[in-house]
């Protein structure tokens, strides 16, 4: 079992992954500035993992801080080492992820996503911690030529968010090449992470108006919003609406656990893997699955296409199966059931219970 630093561990994917990693027996130190999350998520993770107060202090430590604070990172690595709990590996979720916002505020996106990652890598290197799982994204593929998309497809991001992720991947390649026998790195390219832990205790809680289909649709179903806009009914797909590869966030979390096990067991390497199901679902298929799962209607209107959208984005997940023995276990109906359990129990997200 390892001692892990989890940056951005209070966020949507981070909180679910923390739970899975605790259940796998790892000890965690979460670093988060809570710019897009709340410490309450980690209190719930602790409760779900059945940690009592004493074991919680040892197994899930939480530190408020920023990945761009180099002195803060030094202190974190040194303090852990001098307490006999040196960090073995880092799972790096911290970052900004809203495509539209990245177009309006590229400096902030490059700063947090690239400068923040560079600062973290510099501190890791200085403290001799060279095992990293990095949150990359299918957004790197831009408008894919062939679907399903293999990892060998060309990298052609089409917005500042995607550019910043591509730049971090390039930095990781350069770093691994500079010291080939030292760095163990997994770049995990997520497709569309959705759903929630089946308990309904943790889930996705976006600030303001959601940009993404799932949280928007869930808020329509729960009565927080009137109707969903479906962006385009004239795509070259079976029903004319956009097709994506939706992956249950617990499957995704298990993918991180598998990647970490692989890095810790195998010789130094840089792995680049798609994490997706290999199955596509259209917007209307998702809406109807969610209506079945929730027993609620999701009123919608079909409007113009959204700028920058691709028609179909579906992963070829064969490499993750081959290298990690990992594949998704949960389908669209599980995603909708668990996503609805979270939304129904927490109509206003974490702010419902302070």
**Is 161 labeled as catalytic in the residue annotation?**
yes
DSSP SS3 for 185: strand
Q: Scanning residues 125 to 154, which ones bind ligand NAD (CB under 6 A)? A: 135, 137
Q: Which residues bind ligand UDP (CB under 6 A)?
A: 192, 211-213, 216, 228-231, 242, 244, 283, 306, 309, 313
Is 296 or 323 the residue whose CB approaches ligand UDP more closely? Answer: 296
Using rule CB under 6 A, residue 272 touches ligand NAD: no
Cis check for the bond before 148: say yes or no (omega within 30 of 0).
yes
Beta strands in the chain (DSSP E): 3-7, 27-32, 60-64, 89-92, 131-137, 184-190, 192-194, 228-231, 243-244, 246-248, 269-275, 281-282, 300-303, 312-313
Q: Which stretch binds ligand NAD (CB under 6 A): 3-11, 78-86, 227-235, 331-339?
A: 3-11
Is 134 or 216 the residue whose CB approaches ligand UDP more closely? Answer: 216
Q: How far is CA 144 from the centre of its chain?
A: 21
Q: What share of the chain is helix, strand, coil (3-state, %, to 5)?
A: 45, 20, 40
Among 11, 160, 203, 280, binds ligand NAD (CB under 6 A): 11
DSSP SS3 for 27: strand
Q: Which of 246, 244, 240 is nearest to 305 (CA)?
A: 240
Using rule CB under 6 A, residue 8 touches ligand NAD: yes
Using rule CB under 6 A, residue 62 touches ligand NAD: no
Q: Tell whether the torsion through CA atoms of 36, 37, 39 and 45 is positive or negative.
A: negative
Using rule CB under 6 A, residue 66 touches ligand NAD: yes
Distance of closest approach, residue 304 Cβ to ligand NAD, in angstroms: 23
Residues that bind ligand NAD (CB under 6 A): 7-8, 10-14, 31-37, 66-68, 93-95, 97, 112, 116, 135, 137, 190, 193
Residues with catalytic roles? 161
């Amino acid at each position: 079992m390892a001692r892990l630093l989890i940056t951005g561990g209070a966020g949507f994917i981070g909180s679910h992954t923390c739970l899975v990693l605790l259940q796998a027996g790892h000890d965690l130190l979460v670093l988060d500035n809570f710019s897009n999350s709340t410490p309450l998520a980690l209190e719930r993770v602790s409760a779900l993992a059945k940690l009592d107060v004493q074991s919680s202090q040892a197994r899930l430590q939480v530190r408020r801080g920023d990945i761009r604070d180099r002195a803060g990172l030094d202190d974190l690595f040194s303090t852990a080492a001098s307490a006999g709990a040196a960090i073995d590996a880092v799972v790096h979720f911290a970052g900004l992820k809203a495509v539209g916002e990245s177009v309006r505020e590229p400096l902030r996106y490059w700063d947090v996503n690239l400068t923040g990652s560079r600062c973290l890598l510099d501190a890791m290197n200085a403290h001799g911690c060279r095992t990293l799982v990095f949150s990359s994204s299918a957004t790197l593929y831009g408008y894919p030529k062939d679907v399903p998309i293999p990892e060998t497809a060309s990298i052609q991001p089409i917005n500042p968010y995607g550019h910043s992720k591509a730049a971090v991947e390039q930095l990781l390649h350069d770093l691994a090449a500079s010291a080939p026998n030292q760095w163990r790195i997994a770049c995990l390219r997520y497709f569309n992470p959705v759903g929630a832990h089946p308990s309904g205790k943790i889930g996705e809680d976006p600030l303001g108006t959601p940009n993404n289909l799932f949280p928007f649709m869930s808020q329509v179903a729960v009565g927080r919003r009137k109707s969903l806009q479906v962006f385009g009914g004239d795509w070259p797909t079976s029903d004319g609406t956009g097709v994506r590869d939706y992956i249950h966030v617990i499957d995704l979390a298990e993918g991180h656990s598998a990647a970490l096990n692989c890095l810790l067991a195998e010789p130094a390497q840089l792995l680049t893997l798609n994490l997706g199901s290999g199955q596509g679902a259209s917007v209307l298929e998702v809406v109807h699955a969610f209506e079945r799962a929730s027993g609620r209607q999701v009123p919608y209107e079909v409007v113009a296409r959204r700028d920058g959208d691709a028609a179909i984005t579906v992963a070829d997940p064969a490499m993750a199966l081959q290298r990690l023995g990992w594949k998704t276990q949960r389908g669209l109906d599980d995603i909708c059931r668990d996503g609805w359990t979270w939304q129904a129990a927490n109509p206003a997200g974490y702010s419902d219970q302070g």
